[in-house]
Amino acid sequence: MKREIYEKLEDWKKEENHKPLMILGARQVGKTYIVDTFCQENYVNYVSVNLFERKDIVELYDLKIPSEEKFVKLKVLLGVDLEAENTILFIDEIQESEDLISELKFFYEKHPNLNRICAGSLLDVKLKRSHFSFPVGKVQMIEMYPMNFLEFLWAFHEDLLIEEIKSCFNKNIAIAPPIHQKSLEYYRLYLITGGMPESVKKLVSVNKDVIKYDSTILQNIIESYFKDMDKYVLSNSEALKIERIYNSIPTQLANEANKFQFSKVAPNAKSREYTSALDWLLASNMITKSTLVSVPEIPLKGFIKEKILKLYVNDVGILNNLLEIKASDILLDNLSLYKGVITENFVANELETLGYSLYYWQSSGTAEIDFLLYTNDGIIPLEVKAKDNVQSKSLNVYIEKFHPKYAIRISTRNFGFDSEKKIKSIPLYAIFCLRGL
């Protein structure tokens, strides 16, 4: 399936003397698939190595011998001249060898003609928890996420629909009502499957027939996350704390305090006891965070309140699976109070794939802005509405107080622009249009 990250891989290939490339991201977001596809389509000689399967290579890099000698022996084991023209090496599950990760610096400095890409499960956790010599500045790293809504539409070959959505966004004009409804139907389907490639592929294979869609795919992904976890935790106690935090997130998203609270994770839970577990989850990319800022000024990161944050599940399909929400209730719009929670998580996921860091703002009263976007037009407030309700008390408070160039309201409402209040209305299905804002 078509993925946006493919263009980044092409850009990497065009760079002269490019660095080793490392693909980071949660398990089962499609890292191996996209690298396989890219390598097969762009190189004559493609060498793929999975370190789960090639223990001989792991053992080779455990040896206390010079780097050049290891490299020579690697070529012997693979039976390939890795520096031959139009050749690329893909090392999957590279977290299985800390020494090989360290050797990426040697590859770059001594063998610049070697094209190499690496990836792995929970690689971010490995990098942050291990104390080996990481080749800082010698490796290019790219984050990969579950499929966003644009990629979801690509999977169903809806290129004409995508162009119509982009056109209406750019012109600030309403999209035709039948097309608006079609787009919202796709949005609701996405809430069911989320962006995990295997889940999307299943819906494609049954031609969007939700009755035939197998939701156990998502449950299996969740279970695989925790099976992997055992390899990279400090103790059984930490593993338990990680699970407790993760399982508490769906209910904490509906927390009246509008923030994540350690006290809701377990009875008598203290933040100092769970900080390591939270760091693990963030490093694993199983969750993402949005941080409260005291003042919506540039740079946003300079005004964060580090201990006040919201946590989101990395994929809205997984969130709905954790909440045990039936597909029929999503399609029939029977979500009631939790509709806002799911919508906000969806928007957080979309914004992250667009490269936005997540921040939010609260007044001393009751006003709250769901997301703040650092754009070419300054700090832009973004409010999320689960329905087509256009009453925006919090947004009005923010506009009067900080006078942004304009504001954005995300909802099920059609495209539009309130010239008096300078509020741009964007449908939930069109968030991908905010890239590079």
pLDDT at 130: 75
Single-letter amino acid code for the residue at 412: T
Per-residue pLDDT, 243: 92
Going along 106-242, which residue ranges are E strands?
115-119, 140-144
d(Cα 11, Cα 5) in Å, to the nearest integer? 10
pLDDT score of 168: 96
Q: What is the pLDDT of residue 233?
A: 84
Indicate the SS3 state at residue 217: helix
Q: What is the pLDDT of residue 400?
A: 92
**Burial level of 44, CB count in 10 A (0-12/13-18/19+)?**
exposed
Contacts of 426 (CB under 8 A, 6+ apart): 169, 408, 409, 410, 411, 415, 433, 434
Residue 199 phi/psi, 5° resolution?
Answer: -65, -45
Query: Where do the CATH 3.40.50.300 domains begin and end in the chain?
Result: 5-144
- Predicted pLDDT of residue 365: 67
In order of 78, 188, 204, 317, 375, the CA distances from 193 in angstroms are: 39, 9, 10, 5, 30
C-alpha–C-alpha distance, residues 67 and 113, integer Å: 16
CA distance 293 to 187: 30
Write out the two tokens for 311: 């946590």
* Residue 70 one-letter amino acid: K
- The CATH label, of 3.40.50.720, 3.40.50.300, 3.30.70.890, 3.40.50.1000, for the domain at 5-144 is 3.40.50.300
Helix 236-252 and helix 271-284: axis angle, to 10°?
A: 80
Residue 357 phi/psi, 5-degree rounding, is -75, 145
pLDDT of residue 235: 86
- Rounded to whole angstroms, how far apart are CA atoms 310 and 304? 12
| Amino acid 372: pLDDT | 97
Closest CA relative to residue 188, chosen from 339, 6, 410: 339
Nearest in space to 380 (alpha carbons), one of 410, 350, 353: 410
Question: What is the model's pLDDT at position 313?
Answer: 96
Task: Give the pLDDT of the chain (437 residues) as one tens digit per residue.
Answer: 899 999 999 999 999 889 999 999 998 999 999 999 999 999 999 999 999 999 999 999 999 999 999 999 999 999 999 999 999 999 999 999 999 999 999 999 999 989 999 998 888 888 887 777 788 889 999 999 999 999 999 999 999 999 999 999 999 999 999 999 999 999 999 999 999 999 999 999 999 999 999 989 999 999 988 887 777 888 889 999 999 999 999 999 988 788 899 999 988 888 889 999 999 999 999 999 999 999 999 999 999 998 899 999 999 999 999 999 999 999 988 887 789 899 999 999 999 999 999 999 998 767 789 999 999 999 999 999 988 776 778 899 999 999 999 999 999 999 999 888 899 999 999 999 999 78
